[in-house]
Amino acid sequence: MPASVVLGAQWGDEGKGKAIDQLANESNWAVRFQGGNNAGHTIVLGDTTLKLHQIPSGVTSPHCNLVLGDGMVVDPWVLEEELDRWHSLTEERPEGKRLFISERASVILPFHRMYDSADKVVGTTGRGIGPAYRDRIERVGIRFVDIPFVIGDSDKIDETVSRMNMQLDSVGVNQKVERKDFVADLEWIMDRFGEAIRPTGAMIDKALKNGENVLLEGAQGAMLDIDQGTYPFVTSSVTSRANATHGAGIHPGHVNNCFGISKAYTTRVGNGPFPTELPYDTGPGNHMAMVGHEFGTTTGRPRRTGWLDMVSLKDSHRLNGYTGIVLTKLDVLGGLDELKICTGYDLDGQIIDYMPTSSHDLARCRPIYERHSGFPALEEQEWIEMAELSRSDRKGFEVLPESALSYVRRIEELSGIPIVSIGIGPDRRASIASLGGPFDIDPEVTTF
């Protein structure tokens, strides 16, 4: 395999952290290639719940090297908070030893968070991600490799502080960037993370040439891609497979597998069209939200919920060419009498099987559903026991309740993508893998 990609196949929040955590056992490197701390990955290890925003999910595998890649925008203050939490849990300080920050990654500064606070339309996380990417495109942003040069250039400091304050004023933000604070922040970043800042693309390339396995870890989801998503209600980076190697600093020929992560239903955080959306306060939509604990890892905002949208999943596959789907949260649907899958849209009386480019058109689309029988609700421990039986008796998906298995097989038929793993609970053990597939591995909790 030398390189595999894991991507969100929907609007993000699909449960990528658990899948990445499992694959990291078989990987020497785990690389985040885009986004910043607008992402949130949750890993449940027994009684411990680990919430990550920038550190790759492979951190739970002690042998796995970790990279914050070229295509990322990194908030050093949030990174320090994550590393301090990790240290309190494990006593490990991985930075500079097995966690490395790309020289080419952009720095999120307090200015970017201030500027982002003015957003009233898209519904961003307010973490400064978009403004940091904007500075990169305008070629005025600061990369980690640039920090020492900026510190040593008084004119550059004055020019940057002046530009930042003019931009804050232009969007009605009253806060200001002080010169002394700006310099102090840059000096702190170098003092805190200098040993971890490396030419990571060359390091990953060398590892691949040595036959090591590399896991490329995406954030957000396919429908939030800046180019291919539901613009303008998207994130600020390219979330697709095409950017996985580019954002890591290697060529695409290294990739053998691309796994798309999809919930057994659909959720979305923030604004934007959502054809299969259900009422949040009642019925199946409320069931998904409450049973699935649908609150954003990064923002804490309630996630909007709806039936599985096969139109968007097939568009996602068109963009990314998934070799397998990891279906998450199937257990959440337990207890519903009827399940639905959206197989097409009605757009002003015309039946279509693709997502319109315009968000205005997508907002007018009405879902066309096929209906399936529901299956019983089970306790978390019952799902875990079912997953363990699937491994011990080598039964794979056949341990699922008949109607649940029928639902899974129909998703495979409609999408044209094999399902390689099914999540039936938050615990790491609560996964069922297709026999002989890439996720057919020992799920025991890592000792760290």
Which positions are catalytic? 13, 41
Rounded to whole angstroms, what are the CA distances from 203 to 98, 199, 219? 12, 7, 22
Residue pair 311/223 in contact by the 8 Å Cβ criterion: no
Distance CA 362, CA 193 (A): 44
Q: Which of 61, 70, 53, 73 is nearest to 98 (CA)?
A: 61
Q: Which of 311, 344, 110, 118 is nearest to 223 (CA)?
A: 311
Q: How many residues does the chain have?
A: 448
- Vertex 325, ends 322 and 331: CA angle to 5°? 165
Interacting residues of 281 by C-beta distance below 8 A, sequence separation 6+: none
Q: How many CA atoms lie within 13 A of 54 on its CB side?
A: 28
**Class of residue 184 by CB neighbours under 10 A (exposed 0-12, middle 13-18, buried 19+):** exposed
